[in-house]
Structure 1
Amino acid sequence: MTSAGSLWQQIFTFEDYGALLELVHNSLIVGAALGLVGGLAGVFVIMRDLPFAVHGISELSFAGASAALLFGMNVVAGSVIGSLVAASVIGVLGAKARHRNSVIGILMPFGLGLGVLFLALYKGRAANKFGLLTGQIVAVDTPQTTILLSMSALVLVALLVMWRPLMFASIDPEVAGTRGVPVRGLSLAFMLVLGLTIALSVQVVGALLVLTLVVTPAAAAARVTASPVMLPVLSVVLAVVSMEGGILLALGSSVPISPYVTTLSFTLYGICAAIGAVRRRNWGRKAAGADAGRAEVTQHAGAATA
């Protein structure tokens, strides 16, 4: 049996940490970029109720990456193609939430099944297979870093261009439509941007746990603030902290990166949820006190009149 001490050393080991740090400098750079685009895209994922879509797109992204791995192609390119195909199908066929969930429910098992098939046929290193599902921290080489940063810049520019009309369409699509905002076109455009974001995230955190980067930080930020300025800022900060912290914690262990990123992200969500609950309770007390004060003034005014 494995002792508790041995298990702890597998999870947290910081021997030769400085030397190991050199191996993941590309991952740290890419992780910061993913935190930025994932945190921003996550704001609209929460506003438009798309967490299920994120999971569906990640399954097709996994299938595309697995196919690329099997046929000796670029894994990033395969992941992007799978994500964009899924995002396009969901965006075109799933305009309404009810239809969208049905489409996603059909795509998810299909994509996962294809990915499992391709990985079963792949005869290369087992670490490559496992990494597509749960992420790798040392697999990002310099050429991949350049590609991922370029794609992150493209996603960032697209989000900045569509930010205001997309925010309007996300808050009140009917009014936005009457004001001339191309609601349907924006929805499809955002799905494609979301597909790129997910394809990027799969390269580091894996296909199974991409929700922790694109959904959890924005959901945590929404528990603390509703400000249109502070919400995306806080979402980005939480996403970057989760990514960079997860990479640094996973560096000295034999455990994949994903448990560290997900644990950090969940912990931050719990902290934000607690802060939000305390604020709501305090606001409730203040509101109750104000109501009691108004009632007392009204009562005294009525007595004086009488």
Structure 2
Amino acid sequence: MTLADGIWQQMFTFDNYGELLTLVRNSLIVGVALGLVGGLAGVFVAMRDLPFAVHGISELSFAGASGALLAGTNIVAGSIVGSLVAAGAIGLLGARARDHNSVIGILMPFGLGLGVLFLALYKGRAANKFGLLTGQIVAVDSPQTGWLLGTSAVVLAALAVIWRPLTFASADPDVAQARGVPVRALSLGFMILLGLAVALSVQVVGALLVLSLVITPALAAARITASPVLLPVLSVLFAVVSIEGGILLALGGTIPISPYVTTISFAIYVGCRLAGRYRARRWGARRTTAQPA
């Protein structure tokens, strides 16, 4: 057997695949919920230029999950606590963009170092440690499913309530504030919701690659549409396809789920970017030929 054959069998071994599908029913259900959360939150992450914040929150989420693993408590709950602490700190201490970056730059190494410390002290299964960094949704159990679905419902309900004013405040904060929109309160509220969304997404792709779920689908959708209706729809669609496709592919292999999710998400982005460029060139050619000589 060649090296390439060995790698291929590790990535795509579909023996007894039908039987294994019954073991990931919870994962597939949760994947749809997380696709909704990540896709919708990512729209505002892109509008407000907060991808760096997502990465900073994920580091504290990792620390919270690692601490919960060490303490023997619910990992999802620990991840949520860590994310909320980071999101609250960024929202309260970073009123300006430069302050945001400074706060995030301080939180990221602290959270990562704290998480590594907790994992070093943990004496349990190595797979549990690795899963916090690379995702472990294939092994989602019933208690975790309840936490993930419940938190997803809270985030989706809150986004539905503040969607219109948050869109206004994200597109033009100065005009929104002049019109009486509570821009600062909305910003803090969205950071809290973003913290919850990141904590949920960490359960899929791990702390290291969470951007592929929260930001990449939205940026891909933005490459092919500017419609305020179609943009979130496509963002959610791309996120769900990435998650569900990653779960189904990971089930047939022996490596973590995150490489599958991130590869699908990246492929969608590349496809949308190429489609956007083609459409832009075609539109430019039409305008040139339509101009009078």
Shorter-chain TM range is: over 0.9
Q: How much does 1:288 deviate? A: 1.8
Aligned to 1:303: none
Quick check: 1:80 aligned with 2:103? no
2:290, 2:177 → 1: CA distance?
39
1:145, 1:205 → 2: CA distance?
16
Query: 3-state SS of the aligned residue for 2:139?
Result: coil
Q: How is 1:143-292 mapped onto 2 (pairs within 5 angstroms)?
A: 143-291=143-291
Q: How is 1:97-176 mapped onto 2 (pairs within 5 angstroms)?
A: 97-176=97-176
Alignment length (residue pairs): 293
2:48, 2:12 → 1: CA distance?
38
CA deviation string 1:234-264 (max 9, x = no partner): 0000000000000000101111000000000
2:190, 2:199 → 1: CA distance?
14
Q: How much does 1:122 deviate? A: 0.3
2:164, 2:158 → 1: CA distance?
12
Aligned to 1:302: none
Paired amino acid for 1:67: G
Paired amino acid for 2:102: S
Task: State which drifts further: 277-286 or 160-169.
Answer: 277-286
Q: Percent identity?
A: 74
Paired amino acid for 1:111: G
Paired amino acid for 1:141: D
Paired amino acid for 1:60: L
1:4, 1:196 → 2: CA distance?
40
Aligned to 1:61: 61
1:201, 1:173 → 2: CA distance?
28
CA deviation string 1:118-150 (max 9, x = no partner): 000000000000000000133211121111101
- What TM-score, normalized by structure 2, do the two folds share? 0.98
Paired amino acid for 1:282: R
RMSD over equivalenced CA pairs, Å: 1.0
Q: How much does 1:74 deviate? A: 1.1
Aligned to 2:6: 6
Query: 3-state SS of the aligned residue for 1:269?
Result: helix
Aligned to 2:52: 52
**Does the Cα contact within 8 Å between 1:137 and 1:251 map onto a contact in 2?**
no
2:133, 2:178 → 1: CA distance?
43
Paired amino acid for 1:290: A
1:121, 1:53 → 2: CA distance?
28
1:147, 1:228 → 2: CA distance?
30
Query: 3-state SS of the aligned residue for 1:113?
Result: helix
**Does the Cα contact within 8 Å between 1:69 and 1:75 map onto a contact in 2?**
yes
Paired amino acid for 1:143: P
Query: 3-state SS of the aligned residue for 2:127?
Result: helix
Ranges in structure 1 where 5+ consecutive residues have no aligned partner: 297-306
Query: 3-state SS of the aligned residue for 1:208?
Result: coil
2:216, 2:4 → 1: CA distance?
31
Q: How much does 1:7 deviate? A: 1.2
Query: 3-state SS of the aligned residue for 1:138?
Result: helix
CA deviation string 1:40-87 (max 9, x = no partner): 000000000000000000000000000011111111111010000000
